[in-house]
Amino acid sequence: MEFRRTREPAQRDRELMLMLGGAGFFQALVAAHELGLFRYLAAHPGMSQAALAEGLGLPPASLRVLLLACCAMKLVERTQDGEYRNLEWVSAAFAGERPSFTTVVEGFDRLLYQPFSRLTESLRRGTNLGLDCYPGPGNTLYERLAAHPPLEAIFHAWMSNLSSSGLPERLTGALHDRTHVLDVGGGDGTNAVLLAKAHPGLKVTILDLPSICERARARAAAEGLDGRISTHPCDIRTDPFPTGADAILFSRIFNIYSEEQNRGFVRRSADSLPPGGLLLVFPSMVCDDDETGPLSAAFLSLYFLCLATGEGRVYPPSSYEEWFREAGFSSLECTVDAGDDAVFIGRK
Ligand SMILES: C[S@@+](CC[C@H](N)C(=O)[O-])C[C@H]1O[C@@H](n2cnc3c(N)ncnc32)[C@H](O)[C@@H]1O
């Protein structure tokens, strides 16, 4: 048979397709993770389609579709001989003893995607209607999760994974001469453990919701640090901070809440710190000064509005400067890294 084929040069608008197909592509990423494709390829790089289908126990036609998606998304590559392998970062992210990305994907999949279907209405009304997906008491995701223990565990595994790669050196180092730090919204204690290990003379008090404080106490005890890490169950928005600390840390808290609430956090910290006391704020992310990017700040801002609290967003460094100045701090140092993670350290 003679087969003549002509093909015009492709005009592919990758960005447009990623926007339109984002939900489907994300589910392909989840499926590849859940079906074990990335783990299998990490252990057996250079597999043929047939061997992969057999190894994963998938119908060959399904595997073909999944591989097309993963190759198009540049997660997996196919050699000229028709063998498949993960891109290098994918193996580190999804396979091995401490995969760095699985908790993030599980958090997005189980917690964020369904609520995002309420985004238009949330924007219209200026509130977090996505929260309707998780019935229970309270008007923030953090309070609602207490009624959904498996989801709470997924959320804190995601947060803990973010922190387990460490806190910024600038932040940890600033606590070298401190005796007692309040870790406001400290979560399951991952940061407290890192700080207590870095500074043997430091006590840490975690302020968080009651169910999270329980997790943090278990974590501290498991590390043998329960003598130096304590918890203080409270609502950080309204309850007074414990006295006697010479440093206060807010890690991944300020983007959650409104400008007014953040202004209040800084003012209340200034009131409760002694002269020379340090306020450390690790948002972690800041947006560009003109609020036009980056993409990660845009996504997080949508998440805070539509689901987490209905009031937060990612702020530019200039907002922090204003809040610290208003509260009367004598100095403020701001360090932003290449990934837009920022640390603000104010001295009273
Ligand atoms: C995004 S997580 C950050 C956890 C940790 N600081 C970190 O850096 O990974 C926010 C934490 O703040 C807590 N939180 C949020 N709102 C709170 C409130 N109103 N009162 C007490 N804790 C709150 C949540 O329970 C959660 O542990």
Q: List, for residues 196-206, the tens digit of each pLDDT value.
A: 999 999 999 99
Judge whether 112 lies within some domain. no
Same domain, 89 and 161: no
- Expressed in angstroms and rounded, the spacing between residue 343 Cα and the centre of ligand 1 is 17
Same domain, 171 and 305: yes
Same domain, 250 and 336: yes
Confidence class of residue 21 from pLDDT cuts 50, 70 and 90? very high
pTM of the model: 0.90
Question: What pLDDT sits at residue 284?
Answer: 84
Question: What pLDDT sits at residue 343?
Answer: 97
CATH of the domain at 270: 3.40.50.150
Question: What pLDDT sits at residue 166?
Answer: 82
Query: Is there an atom of ligand 1 within 6 Å of 283 CB?
Result: no
Same domain, 175 and 243: yes
Judge whether 259 lies within some domain. yes
| Residue among 164, 253, 341 whose CB has most ligand 1 atoms within 8 A, to mutate | 253
Judge whether 12 lies within some domain. no
Same domain, 342 and 272: yes
Question: Does 55 score more than 80 pLDDT?
Answer: yes
Question: Does 152 score more than 90 pLDDT?
Answer: yes
User: Given the CA of residue 257, which atom of ligand 1 is nearest to it?
Assistant: 16
- Cβ neighbours of residue 303 closer than 8 Å, sequence gap 6 or more: 112, 116
CATH of the domain at 87: 1.10.10.10
Query: Is there an atom of ligand 1 within 6 Å of 239 CB?
Result: no
Judge whether 227 lies within some domain. yes
Q: What is the pLDDT of residues 66-112, one digit of tens each?
A: 999 999 999 999 999 999 999 999 999 999 888 989 999 999 999 99
| Mean pLDDT (whole number) for 217-221 | 97
| Residue among 145, 208, 300, 343 whose CB has most ligand 1 atoms within 8 A, to mutate | 208
The larger pLDDT score, comparing residue 160 to residue 311, is at 311
Question: What pLDDT sits at residue 100?
Answer: 85
Task: Please count the residues of the chain.
Answer: 348
Question: What pLDDT sits at residue 296?
Answer: 93
Query: Is there an atom of ligand 1 within 6 Å of 163 CB?
Result: yes
Question: What pLDDT sits at residue 184?
Answer: 98
- Expressed in angstroms and rounded, the spacing between residue 313 Cα and the centre of ligand 1 is 15
The answer, yes or no, to whether the previous bond of 284 is cis (omega within 30 of 0) is yes
- Expressed in angstroms and rounded, the spacing between residue 186 Cα and the centre of ligand 1 is 6
Domain span at residue 246 reads 141-150+153-347
Q: What is the pLDDT of residues 282-311, one digit of tens each?
A: 998 999 999 999 999 999 999 999 999 999
Question: Does 164 score more than 80 pLDDT?
Answer: no
Judge whether 2 lies within some domain. no
From the list 141, 113, 103, the residue with the least C-alpha distance to 312 is 141
Question: Does 163 score more than 80 pLDDT?
Answer: no
From the list 308, 319, 300, 325, the residue with the least C-alpha distance to 127 is 308
Return the structure tokens found at 266: 């800084």
Q: How many domains does the chain have?
A: 2
By DSSP bridging, strand 278-282 and strand 342-347 are antiparallel
How much of the chain exceeds pLDDT 70, in percent?
100
Question: What pLDDT sits at residue 135?
Answer: 97
